[in-house]
Structure 1
Protein backbone atom coordinates (compact mmCIF):
# COMPACT_ATOMS: atom_id res chain seq x y z
CA UNK A 1 0.00 0.00 0.00
CA UNK A 2 1.17 3.51 -0.77
CA UNK A 3 -0.08 5.08 2.47
CA UNK A 4 1.19 4.36 5.97
CA UNK A 5 -0.33 6.04 9.02
CA UNK A 6 1.87 6.30 12.10
CA UNK A 7 -0.49 6.55 15.02
CA UNK A 8 -1.81 5.27 18.34
CA UNK A 9 -5.46 4.14 18.59
CA UNK A 10 -6.07 6.10 21.81
CA UNK A 11 -4.58 9.35 20.48
CA UNK A 12 -7.40 11.79 19.83
CA UNK A 13 -5.81 13.63 16.90
CA UNK A 14 -5.20 10.27 15.24
CA UNK A 15 -8.95 9.63 15.40
CA UNK A 16 -9.51 12.61 13.09
CA UNK A 17 -7.40 11.06 10.35
CA UNK A 18 -8.72 7.54 10.88
CA UNK A 19 -12.28 8.82 10.45
CA UNK A 20 -11.27 10.47 7.18
CA UNK A 21 -9.59 7.29 5.93
CA UNK A 22 -12.50 5.06 6.88
CA UNK A 23 -15.08 7.52 5.57
CA UNK A 24 -13.72 7.06 2.05
CA UNK A 25 -12.41 3.49 2.35
CA UNK A 26 -8.88 4.64 1.54
CA UNK A 27 -6.42 1.71 1.74
CA UNK A 28 -3.55 2.29 4.14
CA UNK A 29 -1.17 0.46 6.43
CA UNK A 30 -1.67 1.31 10.10
CA UNK A 31 1.65 1.56 11.93
CA UNK A 32 1.12 1.66 15.68
CA UNK A 33 4.11 3.33 17.33
CA UNK A 34 4.93 2.81 20.99
CA UNK A 35 6.77 5.97 21.94
CA UNK A 36 7.81 4.36 25.23
CA UNK A 37 9.94 1.90 23.28
CA UNK A 38 13.33 3.59 22.63
CA UNK A 39 13.89 1.91 19.25
CA UNK A 40 10.39 2.67 17.97
CA UNK A 41 10.64 6.24 19.22
CA UNK A 42 13.99 6.76 17.53
CA UNK A 43 12.71 5.39 14.22
CA UNK A 44 9.64 7.62 14.38
CA UNK A 45 11.71 10.72 15.20
CA UNK A 46 13.74 10.13 12.06
CA UNK A 47 10.54 10.53 10.08
CA UNK A 48 9.19 13.50 12.08
CA UNK A 49 11.57 15.05 14.63
CA UNK A 50 8.67 16.80 16.40
CA UNK A 51 7.53 13.32 17.48
CA UNK A 52 3.78 13.95 17.41
CA UNK A 53 0.99 11.76 16.05
CA UNK A 54 -0.49 11.32 13.52
CA UNK A 55 1.95 11.17 10.62
CA UNK A 56 1.12 10.04 7.10
CA UNK A 57 3.75 8.64 4.75
CA UNK A 58 2.80 8.44 1.06
CA UNK A 59 5.41 6.23 -0.55
CA UNK A 60 4.01 6.60 -4.06
CA UNK A 61 4.29 10.39 -4.00
CA UNK A 62 7.37 10.59 -1.78
CA UNK A 63 5.54 12.73 0.78
CA UNK A 64 5.59 12.72 4.59
CA UNK A 65 2.62 14.66 5.93
CA UNK A 66 2.21 15.73 9.59
CA UNK A 67 -0.70 17.42 11.40
CA UNK A 68 -4.20 15.95 11.37
CA UNK A 69 -5.96 18.77 9.49
CA UNK A 70 -3.25 18.90 6.82
CA UNK A 71 -3.36 15.12 6.42
CA UNK A 72 -7.11 15.25 5.84
CA UNK A 73 -6.71 18.02 3.26
CA UNK A 74 -3.96 15.97 1.59
CA UNK A 75 -6.19 12.91 1.42
CA UNK A 76 -9.09 14.94 0.07
CA UNK A 77 -6.86 16.36 -2.66
CA UNK A 78 -4.92 13.27 -3.70
CA UNK A 79 -7.19 10.38 -2.63
CA UNK A 80 -10.74 11.76 -2.97
CA UNK A 81 -13.71 9.52 -2.28
CA UNK A 82 -17.48 9.65 -2.02
CA UNK A 83 -17.32 12.06 0.93
CA UNK A 84 -15.59 15.33 0.08
CA UNK A 85 -14.22 16.45 3.42
CA UNK A 86 -13.28 19.87 2.05
CA UNK A 87 -16.40 21.19 0.25
CA UNK A 88 -15.91 22.33 -3.34
CA UNK A 89 -17.85 25.52 -2.63
CA UNK A 90 -15.33 28.10 -1.38
CA UNK A 91 -17.59 29.57 1.32
CA UNK A 92 -18.55 26.15 2.65
CA UNK A 93 -14.90 25.10 2.58
CA UNK A 94 -14.00 28.15 4.67
CA UNK A 95 -16.71 27.29 7.20
CA UNK A 96 -15.53 23.67 7.38
CA UNK A 97 -11.94 24.79 8.01
CA UNK A 98 -13.09 27.32 10.62
CA UNK A 99 -15.10 24.73 12.53
CA UNK A 100 -12.19 22.30 12.30
CA UNK A 101 -9.92 24.86 13.95
CA UNK A 102 -12.60 25.74 16.50
CA UNK A 103 -12.90 22.14 17.68
CA UNK A 104 -9.13 21.67 17.75
CA UNK A 105 -8.29 24.88 19.59
CA UNK A 106 -11.28 25.54 21.85
CA UNK A 107 -12.46 22.02 22.66
CA UNK A 108 -9.66 19.59 21.92
CA UNK A 109 -6.76 21.58 23.36
CA UNK A 110 -8.75 22.66 26.43
CA UNK A 111 -9.57 19.03 27.13
CA UNK A 112 -5.91 18.16 26.71
CA UNK A 113 -4.97 20.81 29.28
CA UNK A 114 -7.20 19.13 31.87
CA UNK A 115 -5.86 15.68 31.03
CA UNK A 116 -2.25 16.87 31.14
CA UNK A 117 -2.89 18.31 34.59
CA UNK A 118 -4.23 14.95 35.77
CA UNK A 119 -0.96 13.34 34.70
CA UNK A 120 1.21 15.79 36.63
CA UNK A 121 2.63 14.92 40.04
CA UNK A 122 0.86 16.60 42.96
CA UNK A 123 3.59 19.19 43.46
CA UNK A 124 3.38 20.28 39.81
CA UNK A 125 -0.38 20.57 39.39
CA UNK A 126 -1.72 23.61 37.52
CA UNK A 127 -5.21 23.76 38.99
CA UNK A 128 -5.70 27.35 37.88
CA UNK A 129 -4.92 26.41 34.28
CA UNK A 130 -7.22 23.38 34.47
CA UNK A 131 -10.08 25.53 35.81
CA UNK A 132 -9.58 28.03 33.00
CA UNK A 133 -9.64 25.20 30.46
CA UNK A 134 -12.93 23.93 31.89
CA UNK A 135 -14.40 27.43 31.65
CA UNK A 136 -13.39 27.64 28.00
CA UNK A 137 -14.98 24.25 27.41
CA UNK A 138 -18.29 25.48 28.85
CA UNK A 139 -18.12 28.55 26.60
CA UNK A 140 -17.37 26.37 23.59
CA UNK A 141 -20.24 24.01 24.41
CA UNK A 142 -22.67 26.94 24.40
CA UNK A 143 -21.38 28.12 21.02
CA UNK A 144 -21.65 24.63 19.53
CA UNK A 145 -25.14 24.12 20.95
CA UNK A 146 -26.28 27.29 19.19
CA UNK A 147 -24.51 26.35 15.95
CA UNK A 148 -26.11 22.91 15.87
CA UNK A 149 -29.69 24.17 16.00
CA UNK A 150 -31.28 22.73 12.87
CA UNK A 151 -27.94 21.57 11.50
CA UNK A 152 -27.05 17.94 10.90
CA UNK A 153 -23.29 18.34 10.79
CA UNK A 154 -20.70 20.83 12.00
CA UNK A 155 -20.45 22.86 8.80
CA UNK A 156 -23.94 22.35 7.39
CA UNK A 157 -25.74 19.51 5.64
CA UNK A 158 -22.66 17.45 4.69
CA UNK A 159 -20.07 15.54 6.72
CA UNK A 160 -16.72 17.36 6.47
CA UNK A 161 -13.31 17.79 8.05
CA UNK A 162 -15.06 19.68 10.84
CA UNK A 163 -16.93 16.54 11.88
CA UNK A 164 -13.72 14.50 11.81
CA UNK A 165 -12.38 17.06 14.28
CA UNK A 166 -15.55 17.28 16.38
CA UNK A 167 -15.76 13.61 17.31
CA UNK A 168 -12.51 13.19 19.27
CA UNK A 169 -12.85 16.68 20.71
CA UNK A 170 -16.38 16.17 22.06
CA UNK A 171 -15.86 12.52 23.01
CA UNK A 172 -12.95 13.26 25.32
CA UNK A 173 -14.28 16.64 26.45
CA UNK A 174 -17.47 15.00 27.70
CA UNK A 175 -15.30 12.72 29.84
CA UNK A 176 -13.51 15.59 31.61
CA UNK A 177 -16.34 18.17 31.62
CA UNK A 178 -19.76 16.55 31.09
CA UNK A 179 -22.24 18.53 29.03
CA UNK A 180 -24.94 18.54 31.70
CA UNK A 181 -28.43 19.97 31.22
CA UNK A 182 -29.34 22.59 28.66
CA UNK A 183 -27.02 21.38 25.89
CA UNK A 184 -29.31 19.00 24.06
CA UNK A 185 -27.99 19.96 20.63
CA UNK A 186 -24.39 19.19 21.58
CA UNK A 187 -25.37 15.84 23.09
CA UNK A 188 -27.48 14.89 20.09
CA UNK A 189 -24.69 15.85 17.71
CA UNK A 190 -22.18 13.66 19.54
CA UNK A 191 -24.59 10.73 19.34
CA UNK A 192 -25.02 11.27 15.58
CA UNK A 193 -21.27 11.27 15.20
CA UNK A 194 -20.85 8.07 17.20
CA UNK A 195 -23.46 6.34 15.06
CA UNK A 196 -21.66 7.08 11.78
CA UNK A 197 -19.92 3.89 10.53
CA UNK A 198 -16.48 5.47 10.09
CA UNK A 199 -16.62 6.87 13.63
CA UNK A 200 -18.03 3.70 15.17
CA UNK A 201 -15.11 1.77 13.68
CA UNK A 202 -12.58 4.15 15.22
CA UNK A 203 -14.21 3.91 18.64
CA UNK A 204 -14.39 0.12 18.45
CA UNK A 205 -10.69 -0.11 17.65
CA UNK A 206 -9.85 2.21 20.55
CA UNK A 207 -11.88 0.28 23.15
CA UNK A 208 -9.03 -2.00 24.28
CA UNK A 209 -7.02 1.10 25.20
CA UNK A 210 -9.69 3.06 27.06
CA UNK A 211 -8.39 1.83 30.43
CA UNK A 212 -5.30 3.98 29.82
CA UNK A 213 -7.33 7.19 29.87
CA UNK A 214 -6.68 9.17 33.11
CA UNK A 215 -10.10 9.69 34.65
CA UNK A 216 -8.98 11.15 37.98
CA UNK A 217 -6.30 13.41 39.33
CA UNK A 218 -7.38 17.03 38.78
Structure 2
Protein backbone atom coordinates (compact mmCIF):
# COMPACT_ATOMS: atom_id res chain seq x y z
CA UNK A 1 0.00 0.00 0.00
CA UNK A 2 1.32 3.43 -0.93
CA UNK A 3 1.85 5.86 1.94
CA UNK A 4 1.49 9.62 1.47
CA UNK A 5 2.88 11.88 4.19
CA UNK A 6 1.45 15.38 4.42
CA UNK A 7 -1.18 17.65 5.94
CA UNK A 8 -4.74 18.32 4.67
CA UNK A 9 -4.27 22.11 4.77
CA UNK A 10 -1.01 22.05 2.80
CA UNK A 11 -1.31 23.27 -0.78
CA UNK A 12 1.43 20.94 -2.01
CA UNK A 13 -0.16 17.99 -0.22
CA UNK A 14 -3.37 18.85 -2.07
CA UNK A 15 -1.47 18.76 -5.31
CA UNK A 16 -0.51 15.13 -4.76
CA UNK A 17 -3.84 14.14 -3.23
CA UNK A 18 -5.78 15.39 -6.26
CA UNK A 19 -3.82 12.97 -8.46
CA UNK A 20 -4.54 10.07 -6.09
CA UNK A 21 -8.25 10.87 -5.95
CA UNK A 22 -8.62 11.48 -9.70
CA UNK A 23 -7.27 8.03 -10.53
CA UNK A 24 -8.72 6.30 -7.47
CA UNK A 25 -5.30 5.01 -6.42
CA UNK A 26 -5.43 3.19 -3.06
CA UNK A 27 -3.15 4.71 -0.44
CA UNK A 28 -2.81 5.42 3.26
CA UNK A 29 -2.50 9.02 4.41
CA UNK A 30 0.10 9.73 7.08
CA UNK A 31 -0.59 12.95 8.94
CA UNK A 32 2.46 15.14 9.56
CA UNK A 33 1.85 17.25 12.67
CA UNK A 34 3.03 17.45 16.29
CA UNK A 35 0.70 14.59 17.25
CA UNK A 36 2.45 12.21 14.84
CA UNK A 37 6.19 12.64 15.44
CA UNK A 38 6.98 9.34 13.77
CA UNK A 39 5.61 10.66 10.48
CA UNK A 40 7.50 13.92 10.84
CA UNK A 41 10.67 11.89 11.37
CA UNK A 42 10.07 9.90 8.19
CA UNK A 43 9.75 13.13 6.23
CA UNK A 44 12.90 14.52 7.84
CA UNK A 45 14.80 11.35 7.02
CA UNK A 46 13.77 11.04 3.39
CA UNK A 47 13.64 14.58 1.97
CA UNK A 48 16.43 17.18 1.85
CA UNK A 49 14.70 19.87 3.94
CA UNK A 50 12.15 17.72 5.72
CA UNK A 51 9.25 19.00 3.65
CA UNK A 52 6.10 17.18 2.62
CA UNK A 53 4.40 15.69 0.71
CA UNK A 54 6.46 12.52 0.69
CA UNK A 55 5.51 9.26 -1.00
CA UNK A 56 6.56 5.85 0.32
CA UNK A 57 6.25 2.86 -2.00
CA UNK A 58 7.97 -0.10 -0.39
CA UNK A 59 11.63 0.81 -0.26
CA UNK A 60 11.12 3.69 -2.69
CA UNK A 61 10.76 7.28 -1.44
CA UNK A 62 9.64 10.16 -3.67
CA UNK A 63 9.56 13.80 -2.52
CA UNK A 64 8.24 16.96 -4.24
CA UNK A 65 4.61 16.98 -5.37
CA UNK A 66 5.39 17.16 -9.09
CA UNK A 67 7.73 14.17 -8.84
CA UNK A 68 5.08 12.22 -6.92
CA UNK A 69 2.57 12.88 -9.71
CA UNK A 70 5.16 11.84 -12.31
CA UNK A 71 5.66 8.62 -10.33
CA UNK A 72 1.93 7.92 -10.15
CA UNK A 73 1.49 8.58 -13.87
CA UNK A 74 4.27 6.12 -14.64
CA UNK A 75 3.48 3.31 -12.21
CA UNK A 76 -0.23 3.72 -11.41
CA UNK A 77 -1.94 5.01 -14.57
CA UNK A 78 -5.69 5.43 -14.37
CA UNK A 79 -8.64 7.04 -16.08
CA UNK A 80 -7.18 10.52 -15.73
CA UNK A 81 -4.10 10.94 -17.89
CA UNK A 82 -1.99 12.96 -15.49
CA UNK A 83 0.62 13.52 -18.20
CA UNK A 84 0.15 13.40 -21.98
CA UNK A 85 1.71 10.44 -23.77
CA UNK A 86 3.08 12.76 -26.46
CA UNK A 87 6.53 13.97 -25.28
CA UNK A 88 6.11 17.51 -26.63
CA UNK A 89 2.70 17.87 -24.99
CA UNK A 90 4.16 16.54 -21.74
CA UNK A 91 6.85 19.25 -21.86
CA UNK A 92 4.14 21.90 -22.18
CA UNK A 93 2.18 20.39 -19.29
CA UNK A 94 5.26 20.41 -17.07
CA UNK A 95 6.01 24.01 -18.10
CA UNK A 96 2.57 25.18 -16.97
CA UNK A 97 3.03 23.20 -13.76
CA UNK A 98 6.14 25.29 -13.07
CA UNK A 99 4.16 28.49 -13.72
CA UNK A 100 1.73 27.60 -10.94
CA UNK A 101 4.40 26.47 -8.50
CA UNK A 102 6.87 29.30 -9.09
CA UNK A 103 4.68 32.26 -10.02
CA UNK A 104 1.45 31.62 -8.09
CA UNK A 105 2.20 29.28 -5.18
CA UNK A 106 5.53 30.89 -4.28
CA UNK A 107 4.35 34.54 -4.04
CA UNK A 108 1.20 33.38 -2.21
CA UNK A 109 3.46 31.59 0.29
CA UNK A 110 5.56 34.75 0.63
CA UNK A 111 2.47 36.73 1.64
CA UNK A 112 1.43 34.07 4.13
CA UNK A 113 4.94 33.86 5.58
CA UNK A 114 5.08 37.63 6.03
CA UNK A 115 1.77 37.65 7.90
CA UNK A 116 3.07 34.84 10.11
CA UNK A 117 6.31 36.71 10.75
CA UNK A 118 4.59 39.94 11.67
CA UNK A 119 0.89 39.41 12.49
CA UNK A 120 -1.14 42.51 11.75
CA UNK A 121 1.91 44.42 10.53
CA UNK A 122 3.26 42.70 7.40
CA UNK A 123 6.12 44.45 5.67
CA UNK A 124 4.47 46.41 2.81
CA UNK A 125 7.51 46.08 0.56
CA UNK A 126 7.66 42.29 0.89
CA UNK A 127 3.93 41.91 0.45
CA UNK A 128 3.95 44.37 -2.43
CA UNK A 129 6.58 42.41 -4.34
CA UNK A 130 4.59 39.18 -3.93
CA UNK A 131 1.37 40.86 -5.03
CA UNK A 132 3.09 42.28 -8.10
CA UNK A 133 4.18 38.79 -9.13
CA UNK A 134 0.66 37.44 -8.59
CA UNK A 135 -0.88 40.32 -10.49
CA UNK A 136 1.35 39.66 -13.49
CA UNK A 137 0.78 35.89 -13.25
CA UNK A 138 -2.99 36.31 -13.12
CA UNK A 139 -2.96 38.35 -16.33
CA UNK A 140 -0.70 35.85 -18.09
CA UNK A 141 -2.82 32.87 -17.01
CA UNK A 142 -6.03 34.59 -18.07
CA UNK A 143 -4.60 34.97 -21.57
CA UNK A 144 -3.26 31.42 -21.57
CA UNK A 145 -6.72 30.07 -20.78
CA UNK A 146 -7.95 31.32 -24.15
CA UNK A 147 -6.27 28.28 -25.71
CA UNK A 148 -6.78 25.76 -22.91
CA UNK A 149 -9.92 23.66 -22.59
CA UNK A 150 -9.36 20.54 -20.53
CA UNK A 151 -12.98 20.22 -19.41
CA UNK A 152 -13.40 17.96 -16.39
CA UNK A 153 -10.16 16.04 -16.88
CA UNK A 154 -7.44 16.14 -14.24
CA UNK A 155 -3.84 16.42 -15.36
CA UNK A 156 -0.68 17.67 -13.70
CA UNK A 157 -1.90 21.15 -14.66
CA UNK A 158 -5.13 20.85 -12.64
CA UNK A 159 -3.23 19.28 -9.74
CA UNK A 160 -0.96 22.33 -9.63
CA UNK A 161 -3.56 24.97 -10.46
CA UNK A 162 -6.30 24.07 -7.99
CA UNK A 163 -4.43 24.51 -4.69
CA UNK A 164 -2.33 27.44 -5.86
CA UNK A 165 -5.32 29.42 -7.16
CA UNK A 166 -7.44 28.43 -4.17
CA UNK A 167 -5.05 29.94 -1.66
CA UNK A 168 -3.65 32.72 -3.84
CA UNK A 169 -7.12 34.18 -4.31
CA UNK A 170 -7.40 34.35 -0.53
CA UNK A 171 -4.06 36.12 -0.17
CA UNK A 172 -4.51 38.47 -3.14
CA UNK A 173 -7.85 38.15 -4.95
CA UNK A 174 -7.93 37.51 -8.68
CA UNK A 175 -9.17 40.77 -10.24
CA UNK A 176 -12.48 40.99 -12.08
CA UNK A 177 -10.55 41.82 -15.25
CA UNK A 178 -9.29 38.20 -15.26
CA UNK A 179 -12.73 36.68 -15.62
CA UNK A 180 -11.54 33.53 -17.41
CA UNK A 181 -9.20 32.77 -14.55
CA UNK A 182 -11.87 33.46 -11.94
CA UNK A 183 -14.31 31.12 -13.69
CA UNK A 184 -11.66 28.42 -14.11
CA UNK A 185 -10.81 28.59 -10.41
CA UNK A 186 -14.48 28.02 -9.62
CA UNK A 187 -14.59 25.13 -12.09
CA UNK A 188 -11.51 23.53 -10.51
CA UNK A 189 -13.09 23.71 -7.06
CA UNK A 190 -16.17 21.91 -8.41
CA UNK A 191 -14.15 18.86 -9.53
CA UNK A 192 -14.68 15.94 -7.15
CA UNK A 193 -10.99 15.32 -6.31
CA UNK A 194 -10.48 19.02 -5.56
CA UNK A 195 -13.74 19.42 -3.63
CA UNK A 196 -12.64 16.56 -1.40
CA UNK A 197 -9.43 18.40 -0.55
CA UNK A 198 -11.34 21.62 0.14
CA UNK A 199 -13.68 19.83 2.55
CA UNK A 200 -10.90 17.94 4.35
CA UNK A 201 -9.03 21.23 4.91
CA UNK A 202 -11.99 23.15 6.39
CA UNK A 203 -11.12 22.42 10.06
CA UNK A 204 -7.79 24.21 9.62
CA UNK A 205 -8.93 27.43 7.94
CA UNK A 206 -8.28 29.55 11.01
CA UNK A 207 -4.58 28.85 10.47
CA UNK A 208 -4.48 30.98 7.31
CA UNK A 209 -2.63 34.12 8.54
CA UNK A 210 -4.20 36.83 6.33
CA UNK A 211 -7.62 35.54 7.38
CA UNK A 212 -9.56 32.90 5.46
CA UNK A 213 -12.55 34.47 3.68
CA UNK A 214 -16.09 33.23 4.33
CA UNK A 215 -16.39 31.63 0.90
CA UNK A 216 -15.27 28.57 -1.05
- SS of residue in 2 equivalent to 1:26: coil
- Runs of 4+ with deviation above 4 angstroms: 35-40
**Displacement, 1:15?**
0.4
The residue aligned with 1:137 is 134
User: For residues 165-207 of structure 1, what are the alpha-carbon distances to aligned partners after superposition, in whole Å with 9 as ceiling and x for unaligned?
Assistant: 0011100010011112211100111111111111111111111
> Using the alignment, how far apart are the partners of 2:198 and 2:153 within structure 1?
21
Which one is further off, 88-97 or 13-22? 88-97
Paired positions, count: 211
Per-residue deviation, residues 126-162 of structure 1 (Å, max 9, x unmatched): 4312211100100000001111125323xx9953101
Gaps of 5+ in 2: 212-216
- Secondary structure at 1:148 match in 2: helix
- Which residue of structure 2 lines up, in the alignment, with residue 163 of structure 1? 158
Residue 181 of structure 1 pairs with residue 150 of structure 2: no
The structural deviation recorded for 1:41 is 3.3
Matched, 1:26 2:25: yes
In 2, are the aligned partners of 1:117 and 1:127 still within 8 Å (CA)? no
Task: Determine the C-alpha separation between the residues in 2 that align with 1:77 and 1:175.
Answer: 34
Aligned position for 1:108: 105
CA-based RMSD of the aligned residues comes to: 2.1
Alignment counterpart, residue 148 of structure 2, candidates 148, 151, 155: 151
**Are 2:211 and 1:209 aligned?**
no
Superposition TM-score, scaled by structure 1 size = 0.89
* Alpha-carbon separation, structure 1, partners of 2:154 and 2:49: 30
Whether 1:199 aligns to 2:194 is yes
Match of 1:149, SS state, is helix
User: Structure 1 31/37 Cα, relative in aligned 2: closer, same or farther at 3 Å?
Assistant: closer
Is residue 131–residue 172 contact of structure 2 (8 Å, CA) maintained in 1?
Answer: yes
SS at match of 1:65: strand
In structure 2, what is the Cα distance between the partners aligned to 1:110 and 1:200? 24
TM-score (structure 2 length as normaliser): 0.90
Per the alignment, do residues 29 and 185 of structure 1 end up closer, same or farther by CA in structure 2, a change over 3 Å counting?
Answer: same
Alpha-carbon offset, residue 40 of structure 1: 5.0
Residue 119 of structure 1: how far off its partner (Å): 0.4
Could you say which residue in structure 1 is the equivalent of 2:50? 51
Contact 2:30/2:39 (CA < 8 Å) preserved in 1?
no
Give 1:43 deviation, angstroms: 4.5
